[in-house]
């Protein structure tokens, strides 16, 4: 095993192959280690997120290094049959690459069971191993759109795209089954450990595949509500996210400035983890139908209240604001920061999705972004927790005139880059480009980061704050809606205590990365070596 740093609360365990990876995953799931919060398996790695207050990094490494990988757990899981119309546009090319006929590709693909090794890339996307044992390279140029239900091959894996998305896998067919359906008790059709058998469904019907089911629309609120007049550039509901869903290929998501969200909730007397409206660059306005107490935190944004009589005044940030029926609230353009958080006393009366109100913009999980005319119901409280009058920003909010310094933990793939690139990461400034969003901050630097290792990186788990470097050499700083797994090397990650600040950096601001330490692997320490070290002390 290799133990590679990811962040102050995460590490990557690299193993020899998929079998060893799954053996370690099984062992850690069978006997959980206290303090481990999430394990994301991939082709040859496990990304392990932990609570440093519960277990120290070195102690965790020592525990993992002592695991027995010689045996896999025998767990009886369900078997799923997936009918496939083998009409994929890459089927002939796959046959040529394998040196067999088109018919033999189909025969071998349907002749054996596959196993779900792990999930990632998108909700419901399962990496399937075994089966035909094909080895097929990815397409040299990824497609901008692969349809939902596409059955595809890449490397040693088979997979089915749960929704339309870009992708570089070789398409050999299509299935009518929905791999991801929020109307089911288990949204993902496949989970790690399941067995899968593909079957030949014959030619595609003349009318094509049936349209996927669409989740039912939310009912109109029965009580008090906010009527959205203008949603601004992008306004979505966010709470602390949905941890524990990685088995379905769903990342946590959640508010980008969690301190601001908690402060907004405390200001109105809510639990600090309740959902708020996260709004980018102001422009949000709404009318309150009923009486309410709200608070606006985060970006330094003018908050204007206009009552039913036309009287207008400015409200304070980080303070409770009492609203009467007919009051209109408008958020102006931020003077500093990027994202504002609107909390309402009692909370929003909206059904959660997978236990959370967070909107994951990449995975398309959670309530849709706010639109003109939306009605947001809320719970009216007459008693309960006192409001807080002592809230304030946790840091100075950045502007485009600032150079924002972010501490960085180097790893896990720092050694895939040249020494010049490693130095350049921190020595030059990086401009935040307009292509940035909740998935990640796309950066532009004068000199791109060059790699020393040009091999293809097998997909591995990624964390919030990861600085991933694609082929262009211009890095992307992953935010809360990042993909669960990625195939480009991560040179470092923004330390978790600077993630809220990263979520408030405006477009065209400049970032300077500050490595907190040099990159080095984490070595396990055995009991014997620990004793020897103690004896050497004077």
Q: Say how far apart CA 247 and CA 425 lie, in whole Å.
A: 33
Class of domain 403-515: mainly beta
Class of domain 86-200: mainly beta
Residues 120 and 127: beta-carbon distance below 8 Å: yes
pLDDT of 462-516, one tens digit each?
Answer: 999 999 999 899 999 999 999 888 889 999 999 999 999 999 999 999 999 999 9
Backbone dihedral region for residue 495 (phi beyond 0: left; psi -120 to 50: alpha; all else: beta)? beta
Average pLDDT over residues 364-381: 94
Residue 79 β-bridge partners: 195
Using DSSP, state whether 473 is helix, strand or coil. Answer: coil
Q: What is the mean pLDDT of the chain?
A: 92
The dihedrals phi and psi of 95, each to the nearest 5 degrees, come to: -60, -40
Residues 250 and 242: beta-carbon distance below 8 Å: yes
pLDDT of 63-122, one tens digit each?
Answer: 999 998 887 666 556 899 999 999 999 999 999 999 999 999 999 999 999 999 889 888
* pLDDT confidence of residue 215: 61
Q: How many CB atoms lie within 10 A of CB 302?
A: 15
Average pLDDT over residues 206-213: 73
pLDDT of 415-434, one tens digit each?
Answer: 999 999 999 999 999 999 99
Average pLDDT over residues 272-289: 97
Q: What's the distance, Cα to Cα, between the start and end of the chain in Å?
A: 33
Residues 359 and 368: beta-carbon distance below 8 Å: yes
The closest of 427, 440, 525, 516 to 482, measured between CA atoms, is 440
* pLDDT confidence of residue 217: 65
2-65 and 403-515: same fold? no
For the cut 80, the answer to whether the pLDDT of residue 213 exceeds it is no
CATH fold for the domain made of 2-65: Gyrase A; domain 2 (3.30.1360)
The closest of 356, 300, 287, 363 to 326, measured between CA atoms, is 287
Average pLDDT over residues 333-351: 97
For the chain, how many residues are written? 538
Q: Could you tell me the residue ranges of all domains in the chain? A: 2-65, 86-200, 225-377, 403-515
- The answer for residues whose C-beta is within 8 angstroms of residue 335's C-beta and 6 or more apart is 300, 301, 302, 399
Would you place residue 527 in the very low, low, confident or very high pLDDT band (cuts 50, 70, 90)?
low
Please state whether beta strands 336-344 and 276-280 pair in parallel, antiparallel, or not at all (unpaired).
Answer: antiparallel
For the cut 50, the answer to whether the pLDDT of residue 534 exceeds it is no
Would you place residue 329 in the very low, low, confident or very high pLDDT band (cuts 50, 70, 90)?
very high
pLDDT of 152-202, one tens digit each?
Answer: 999 999 999 998 888 889 999 999 999 999 888 888 999 888 999 999 999
For every residue of 29-92, DSSP letters joined together read HHSPPTTEEEEEE-SSEEEEEE-TTTS-HHHHHHHHHT---S--------EEEEEEB---TTHH
Write the secondary structure of 179-199 as one string of H (helix), E (strand) and C (coil).
Answer: CECCCCCCCECCCCCCEEEEE
Average pLDDT over residues 139-155: 90
* pLDDT confidence of residue 73: 60
* pLDDT confidence of residue 185: 83
pTM: 0.91
* pLDDT confidence of residue 369: 97
Q: Say how far apart CA 225 and CA 294 lie, in whole Å.
A: 12
């Amino acid at each position: 095993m290799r133990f590679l740093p990811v962040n102050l609360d995460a590490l990557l365990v690299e193993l020899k192959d998929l079998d060893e990876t799954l053996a370690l995953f099984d062992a850690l799931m069978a006997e959980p280690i206290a303090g481990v919060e999430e394990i994301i398996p991939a082709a040859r790695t496990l990304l392990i997120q932990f609570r440093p207050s519960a277990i120290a990094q070195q102690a965790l490494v020592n525990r993992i290094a002592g695991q027995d990988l010689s045996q896999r757990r025998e767990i009886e899981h369900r078997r799923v049959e997936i009918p496939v119309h083998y009409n994929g546009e890459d089927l002939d090319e796959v046959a040529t690459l394998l040196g067999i006929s088109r018919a033999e590709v189909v025969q071998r693909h349907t002749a054996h069971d596959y196993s779900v090794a792990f999930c990632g890339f998108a909700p419901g996307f399962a990496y399937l191993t075994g089966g035909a044992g094909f080895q097929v390279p990815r397409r040299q140029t990824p497609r901008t759109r692969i349809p939902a239900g596409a059955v595809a091959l890449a490397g040693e894996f088979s997979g089915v795209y749960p929704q339309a998305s870009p992708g570089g896998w070789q398409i050999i067919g299509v299935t009518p089954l929905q791999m991801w359906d929020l109307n089911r008790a288990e949204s993902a059709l496949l989970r790690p450990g399941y067995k899968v058998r593909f079957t030949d469904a014959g030619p595609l019907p003349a009318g094509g595949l049936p349209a996927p089911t669409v989740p039912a629309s939310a009912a109109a609120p029965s009580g008090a509500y906010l009527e959205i007049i203008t949603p601004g550039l992008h306004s979505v509901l966010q709470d602390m996210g949905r941890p524990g869903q990685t088995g379905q290929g769903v990342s946590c998501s959640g508010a980008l400035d969690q301190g601001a969200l908690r402060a907004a909730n405390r200001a109105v007397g809510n639990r600090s983890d309740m959902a708020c409206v996260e709004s980018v660059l102001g422009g949000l306005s709404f009318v309150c139908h009923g009486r309410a107490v709200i608070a606006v935190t985060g970006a330094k944004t003018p908050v204007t209240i206009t009552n039913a009589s036309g009287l207008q005044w400015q409200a304070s940030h980080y303070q409770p604001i009492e609203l009467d029926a007919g009051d209109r609230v408008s958020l102006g353009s931020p003077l500093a920061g990027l994202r504002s958080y609107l909390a309402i006393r009692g909370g929003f009366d909206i059904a959660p999705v997978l236990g959370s109100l967070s909107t994951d913009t990449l995975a398309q999980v959670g309530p849709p972004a706010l639109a003109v005319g939306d009605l947001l119901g809320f719970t009216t409280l007459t008693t309960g927790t006192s409001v807080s009058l002592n809230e304030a920003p946790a840091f100075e909010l950045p502007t485009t005139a600032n150079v924002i310094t972010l501490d960085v933990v180097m790893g896990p793939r720092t050694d895939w880059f040249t020494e010049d690139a490693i130095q350049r990461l921190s020595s030059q400034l990086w401009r935040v480009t307009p292509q940035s969003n909740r998935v990640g901050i796309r950066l532009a630097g004068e000199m791109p980061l060059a790699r020393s290792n040009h091999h293809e990186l097998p997909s591995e788990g990624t964390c919030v704050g990861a600085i991933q470097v694609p082929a262009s050499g211009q890095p992307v700083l992953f935010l809360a809606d990042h993909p669960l797994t990625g195939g480009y090397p991560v040179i470092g990650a923004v330390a978790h205590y600077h993630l809220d600040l990263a979520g408030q950096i405006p477009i065209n601001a400049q970032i300077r990365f500050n490595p907190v330490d040099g990159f080095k692997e984490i070595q396990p320490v055995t009991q014997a070596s620990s004793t020897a070290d103690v004896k050497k002390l004077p």
